Amino acid sequence: MEKQRIELLSPAKDLACGMAAINHGADAVYIGAPKFGARATVGNSLADIEALCRHARLYGAKVHVTMNTLLFDAELEEARSQVIALWNAGVDALIVQDMAFLEMDLPAIALHASTQTDNRTPGKVRFLEESGFERVILARELSLKEIRAISDVTTVSLEAFVHGALCVSYSGQCWMSAAMGGRSANRGTCGQPCRLGWSLKETGGKVLAEDRHLLSLKDMDRSAHLAGMMDAGISSFKIEGRLKSMDYVKNVTAFYRQALDREFERRGGATRDSFGAVTHHFTPNLEKSFFRGGTDYYLSGRRGKVASFDTPKAMGERMGTVVNVSKDHVTLKREKGRTPIVNGDGLCFLDEQKRLKGLKANRVDGGLIRPNVPVYKTGLFKGAVIYRNHDHAFLKLLEKESAERLLALTLQVKEVKDGLWIAATDETGRSITHWFGVEPMPARDKEKARQTLETQLAKLGGTPFYLKRLTLNMSPLFIPVSDINRLRREMVDLLMEEAGTPPRRESASVERPVVPFPGTSIDYKANVANALAEQFYTKRGVTTIEPAFELKARENELTVMETRHCIRETLGLCPGKTSQAEPLILENSKGRFTVHFLCGECGMRIER
C-alpha cells in the first residue's frame, strides 16, 4: 500500500526566503506573483519565480503562486497573461480567490481555492471540488470534527494552516479595512484595523473596555495536533507568513519539518512529499521567531483564550519575573528551562498600565540585568513579567548557513573499452549515464586503487548530493586522483543539468466542469467583482448576483466582518447560549461599528 504523502507548505516573501524554506525542509513554498496577490507589497518577478521553481524541482518540491485578490474587468486579460507566463516559468499551482480563473482560457495549471473563498462547509468544498479546483484551503476556524466532516464527503486535497498570524474575520469575509479607509483586504491592501485599539460600549454609553486590542488574536500554533489533523484528512500543512523575515521562515519550517518527520516515523503510513535528507544546524524554537502567544484556534473546540487584548505585537518567550528593582539594574527570576538572557537581547513587558514597553539588555550577569536606559525610564517594576522578543545569539546563528538538504545518490561504475561508464541515479529517480575516457592501467596496489576511487567519488561536498551506494564492476585500475575528480564534477554537472530541465507540459487549455451552485442568489459576500466571475455563477444557475463590496458605494448598514471569536466571552460577559446578548458599540478615533452577538453559535457579526 502506497504511503500517504503529506506536504509541508512554507511562505516566501522573495526568492531568498523561498530557497531557504526548501533547504530547511519545505515540500512546497507559496510566493506572490508579480501582481494580484493578497499581500500587494510582496510581489515577485517572473525571473525570481522561475529560479525558485528550478531550485524546488531539484528536490521534487513544488511552487505555488498566490493570485488571490479580486480582479476588476480591466485586469482580466493581464491576469490571464500572467498565469500563462507563470505556467511557462514552471509554477505548479495557483492559489486564487476569484472565480474568473475558472472561466479563463488557461493551460492545465492546478488551481487551489484560497482560504479567501470562505471554505467552511462540506457543501461549499464539494462544490469547489466539482468545479475543477484540485485543492481547497480550509477556513482557519474549523475544528477537527468540522474538517473530518468535509473530508468524509470530498476527495479533493485539503490544506489547512498550522502556524502563524490569524485574521479575526473569516477569510474573504472582511470589509472593515475597506469600509474605514478604502483599503480592501480582498484586493491585497488590508490596513489591519483589527490590530488597533478599540473601546467597547453599551448602546447607552457605559464603557466595558477602553482602548484595548479587542479584535487582535494570538498566533496559531497547532504543532501539538499534527496527528489529529492528518487523521481528519489534511494533506498539506501551511505556515502563514509571506511578510515574515528570513529567520522566521528558517526556524518555523525547521520546527514543523522535524515534528512531521517524527509523526511519520510513529505512524509508518505517511511520508513527506519531496526528497532530500535535511540537517538543521540549530534547534528550532517557535517562540524565538515572531510570536504573539499560541492558540490552536478552535481546532479542539472553544478551549482557552484566542485573543491578545493587551498588545498586537510579538512578545516572544516568557523569561521570568522581576524580583528586585534597583537604580541601574533589575533582578530576574528566570523560568525553568529558559536559556539565559545575554548582552544584546531584546526584552519587553507590560507596564502597570498594561502598555507594552521594550528595552535592550545592555549588560547581563546571571539574573542581574542592566538595561540600555536608566531603570526609572523603563517603567520596570517588581513583579513585571519579562519576555524576550529578540534572542541575539539565536538570530546570529540563523544568519549563517543553518541547514543542509542532500539527495541520496547511487552510482554504478564499470570498465568499458577505452574508459569507464558511469550511471548515477538520485532519490527522486533522475538518472544520467556518462562515458569517461581513461587509459586502462592495472593497479599495482589493487586495494588502494579501489579505496581511492571510492573516496574521491564520495567527495560531494558543495553539491546537493551524498553518496549512498557505489557499485564497481571493474578490475582495479590506477586512475590519477585528478581524473577521478574530473569524472565526479562532470557527473554532477550532468545531474544538475537534468534537474534543471523543466518537465514537458501540455499548454492546451483546460475546460472546467459546470455543476449547479447550491442556490439561485448571492450577495456581496460572494465577492463577484468582474464579468467572468458573474458568468461563472450564471452558468451554474445563479440568477441574482449582487456586486462585490469594492464595486459599489453603500450607505445602508451591512456586515463588515463575521468572526468565531467573541469579545463578550473573552471579557467574561457571556450571557450563555440560552440568552441573546444585546448589541454593543465598538469604536475608536477611526471608526464606529455595531457588534451583534451570535449567541447560539458563539460568534460575532460586526456591522457598519
Q: Is the pLDDT of residue 41 over 90?
A: no
Query: Cβ distance 238 to 159 under 8 Å?
Result: yes
Cβ density class 214-249: b for 16+ within 10 Å, e for less: bbbbbbbbbbebbebbbebbbbbbbbbbbebebbbb
Distance CA 4, CA 518 (A): 32
Q: Is the pLDDT of residue 578 over 70?
A: no
What is the average per-residue pLDDT within 151-166?
Answer: 98
What is the average per-residue pLDDT within 35-53?
Answer: 93
H or E stretch including 571?
A: helix 567-571
587 band by pLDDT with thresholds 50, 70 and 90: very high
Q: What is the pLDDT of residue 161?
A: 98
> Cα-Cα-Cα-Cα dihedral of 459, 463, 469, 473, to 10°?
-70
What is the average per-residue pLDDT within 15-35?
Answer: 98
> What string of DSSP letters covers 84-147?
HHHHHHT--EEEE--GGGGGS---S-EEEE-GGG---SHHHHHHHHHTT-SEEE--TT--HHHH
Domains and CATH numbers, the chain: 4-166+221-274 (3.20.20.70), 294-390 (2.40.10.170), 406-500 (no CATH)
577 band by pLDDT with thresholds 50, 70 and 90: low
Q: Is the pLDDT of residue 14 over 90?
A: yes
> What string of DSSP letters covers 208-256?
EEEEE-TT-B-EEE-GGGHHHHHHHT--EEEE--TT--HHHHHHHHHHH
pLDDT tens-digit map of 172-181? 999 999 999 8
Q: For 305-341, give the secondary structure using H, E and C.
A: CCECCCCCCCCCEEEEEEEEECCCCEEEEECCCCCCC
Q: What is the pLDDT of residue 42?
A: 85
336 band by pLDDT with thresholds 50, 70 and 90: very high
Q: What is the pLDDT of residue 513?
A: 93
Q: What is the pLDDT of residue 353?
A: 92
What is the average per-residue pLDDT within 8-30?
Answer: 98
Which residues partner with 407 through β-bridges? 465
Rounded alpha-carbon distances, angstroms, from residue 420 to 408, 431, 488: 22, 17, 12
Q: Is the pLDDT of residue 508 over 80?
A: no
pLDDT tens-digit map of 400-445? 999 999 999 999 999 998 889 999 999 999 999 999 998 878 999 9
Q: Is the pLDDT of residue 99 over 90?
A: yes
386 band by pLDDT with thresholds 50, 70 and 90: very high
Q: What is the pLDDT of residue 208?
A: 96
Q: What is the pLDDT of residue 258?
A: 98
Q: Is the pLDDT of residue 1 over 80?
A: no
Q: What is the pLDDT of residue 530?
A: 98
H or E stretch including 474?
A: none
Q: Which set of grid coordinates corresponds to residue 378?
A: 523603563
User: Of residues 189 and 601, which shows the higher confidence score?
Assistant: 189
Q: What is the pLDDT of residue 502?
A: 84
Q: What is the pLDDT of residue 291?
A: 93
What is the average per-residue pLDDT within 59-81?
Answer: 98
Q: What is the pLDDT of residue 487?
A: 94
Q: Is the pLDDT of residue 156 over 80?
A: yes
pLDDT tens-digit map of 114-139? 999 999 999 999 999 999 999 999 99
Q: What is the pLDDT of residue 418?
A: 85
Distance CA 40, CA 50 (A): 20
Write the CB contacts of 20 (distance below 8 Å, at least 6 apart in sequence).
246, 249, 250, 253, 403
Q: What is the pLDDT of residue 580?
A: 82
Phi, psi of 161 (to 5 degrees): -70, 140
Residue type, 370: R
| Secondary structure (3-state) at 453 | helix
pLDDT tens-digit map of 256-301? 999 999 999 999 889 999 999 999 999 999 999 999 999 999 999 9
